[in-house]
């Protein structure tokens, strides 16, 4: 099984601070996102991803985020298999120290 490409929460925060446009997708459940998400992230719960494939462009790289990095890794494996470019934010929101909303 191929390794999933990863990024650290600190790298995400740094790239956002530098004004880079990142395609962030938060795959946590609604009640988890209520505690705060990265402002630039789009919220699509993990279970809805298969029905939202038309939301993704195969030319863009997407960074997937969950609470600890496990669910987002599973989403990355699923989408990698379908030919999308994915990156898993390791450590998830538990490790993210940047601004949240």
Q: Is residue 33 part of a domain?
A: yes
Q: With a cut of 80, say whether residue 2 has pLDDT above it.
A: no
Whether 1 is covered by a domain: the verdict is no
User: What pLDDT, on the 0 to 100 scale, is given for residue 53?
Assistant: 98
pLDDT of 80 over the 80 cut: yes
CB atoms within 10 A of CB 74: 17
29 within a domain of the structure (yes/no): yes
Q: Determine the pLDDT at residue 86.
A: 98
66 flagged as catalytic: yes
pTM of the model: 0.96
Residue 100 domain-assigned (yes or no) = no
Q: 80-85: long-range contacts (C-beta < 8 A, 24 or more apart)?
A: 80/2, 80/4, 82/53, 83/58, 84/56, 84/58, 85/58, 85/60, 85/61
Residue 68 lies in a domain: yes
Domains: count for the chain: 1
What is d(CA 75, CA 47) in angstroms, rounded to the nearest whole number? 9
Mean pLDDT, residues 65-69: 98
**pLDDT value, residue 1:** 55
Catalytic residue among 49, 63, 66, 87: 66
Phi and psi based region of residue 24 (left: phi greater than 0; alpha: psi -120 to 50; beta: remaining): beta
Mean pLDDT, residues 35-54 taken together = 97
Indicate which CATH number applies to the domain containing 68: 3.40.250.10
Say if 99 falls within a structural domain: no
């Amino acid at each position: 099984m191929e390794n999933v490409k990863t990024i650290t929460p600190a790298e995400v925060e740094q790239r956002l601070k530098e004004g880079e446009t990142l395609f962030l997708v938060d795959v946590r459940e609604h009640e988890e996102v209520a505690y705060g998400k990265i402002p630039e992230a789009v919220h699509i719960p993990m279970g809805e991803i298969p029905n939202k494939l038309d939301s993704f462009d195969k030319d863009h790289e997407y960074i997937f985020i969950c609470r600890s990095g496990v669910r987002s890794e599973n989403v990355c494996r699923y989408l990698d298999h379908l030919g999308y470019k994915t990156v898993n934010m390791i450590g998830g929101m538990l490790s993210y120290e940047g601004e949240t909303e």
